Amino acid sequence: MPEEIWRSAIDLVVRNARRAGRPAAVGFHGGGEPTVAWDSLAGAVAHARSAAGSPGNLNLGLATNGVMNEEQAEFVATTFPTVTLSLDGDAEAQDHQRPRAGGAGSFDAVMRFVDTLRGHKTSLVVRATITEATVHRQAELVEILAARTGCQLLHFEPVFARGRRAARAGEPLDADAFATGFIAAMERAATLGVRLRYSAARLGGAFLSFCGCAQDAFNVTPEGDVTACFEVCDRSSPHAEWFFFGRWDPDRGAFAIDAERLARLRGLNVLQKPLCARCFAKWSCAGDCPVKGSTESFDFQAGSARCRMNQSITHALLVQAVKGEACTAI
């Protein structure tokens, strides 16, 4: 990402946060791996700290695959209070689903990164993509990941049927199989004192929208496009017309925002989805992910196989809570 773009994006976020009396939140997510653009990442961190003025005015976050050299790992461990790590299980699962560019496995490299984080007591969230190969191993993966990483918050998501990872995983994942495996994993996590999360089943509150798409999320791509969604980060995406709501204007040296598209995005909430009106899980999944729960033509009002999956997992969470057991998914 050109420096003028990330500087302007950070300045805009810091100004808005200051106006609202809140800390600025600056996250590095990538549409791939954000640490590959190392100089930009380090420069943006330094600029965010300077613009915020004090540590209490800034929350930094990073999502990474954990494959980097030791110097970079030290920087990450001492810079980001919380790191979200993409790690799909043991060596067998990880090396199959996330091979390195040359074809070798990535598990050993990621474990070195984990050990660096643990050495600095950096908070870690492990996010695993569940595929056909691991859908029936979810309870086992909870034990493996918790023991090897020391992580107290695991995040499992079914593979999304688009992109490179989905192509490698094969057929789209059966929603009922994921729900059955996740519920078994929930029970295992409760016995270990580990929290297990799935994004569309939450009991931590009543949610109007699934994610930040309806809440003015401001995500900037390397090309300077502004998108409301991590899943839609490329101009060629079939959903770009819906989720891209701004762009960097080099002539003005500022971001141009499409107010009409932004207003339309704010309507992606559960109150605008009649299908959800009588669903007991409506405040938990909040209408589900607008992208993953929609059709190719983006019909936010349509139902999907994910509805039943979300209901099954939410029901299991409610039963767990009523029994007085630890509520592992938040």
Sign, CA torsion 113/81/74/147 = negative
Q: What is the dihedral of CA 305, 232, 107, 313, to 10 degrees?
A: -30
CA distance 175 to 111: 30
Q: At residue 328, does pLDDT exceed 60?
A: no
Q: What sign does the CA torsion over 129, 134, 138, 144 have?
A: negative
Compute the average pLDDT of residues 15-29.
96
Q: Which two tokens stand for residue 34?
A: 């954000």
pLDDT band, very low/low/confident/very high, at 303 (cuts 50, 70, 90): confident
pLDDT at position 162 is 59
Q: What is the pLDDT of residues 116-163, one digit of tens each?
A: 999 999 999 999 999 999 999 999 999 999 999 999 999 999 998 655
Confidence (pLDDT) at 145? 97
The full set of domain ranges for the chain reads 3-197, 212-322
Spatial contact of 81 and 49, defined as CB atoms under 8 Å apart: no
Q: What is the pLDDT of residue 169?
A: 47
What mean pLDDT is predicted for residues 21-31? 92
Summarize pLDDT for 67-89 with one digit per residue, the tens: 999 999 999 999 999 999 999 99
CATH no. for 3-197? 3.20.20.70
Looking at residue 277, its pLDDT comes to 92
> pLDDT tens digit string along 168-227?
545 568 999 999 999 999 999 999 999 999 999 998 889 999 999 999 999 999 999 999
Residue 95 CA to chain centroid, in angstroms? Answer: 21
What is the predicted pLDDT for the residue at 248? 97
- Neighbouring CB atoms inside 10 A of 192's CB total 16
Q: What is the mean pLDDT of residues 222-240?
A: 92
User: For residues 185 and 146, what is the distance between their CA atoms, to the nearest angstrom?
Assistant: 12
Q: Compute the distance between CA of residue 243 and CA of residue 251 in angstroms, rounded to an integer.
A: 23
Can you give the pLDDT at residue 171?
58
pLDDT of residue 3: 97
The pLDDT tens digits of the residues spanning 158-179 come to 998 655 555 454 556 899 999 9
Q: How far separated are the first and last CA of the chain, in Å rounded?
A: 33
SS3 at position 202: coil
**262 membership: H or E segment, kind and range:** helix 259-265
The model's pTM is 0.91
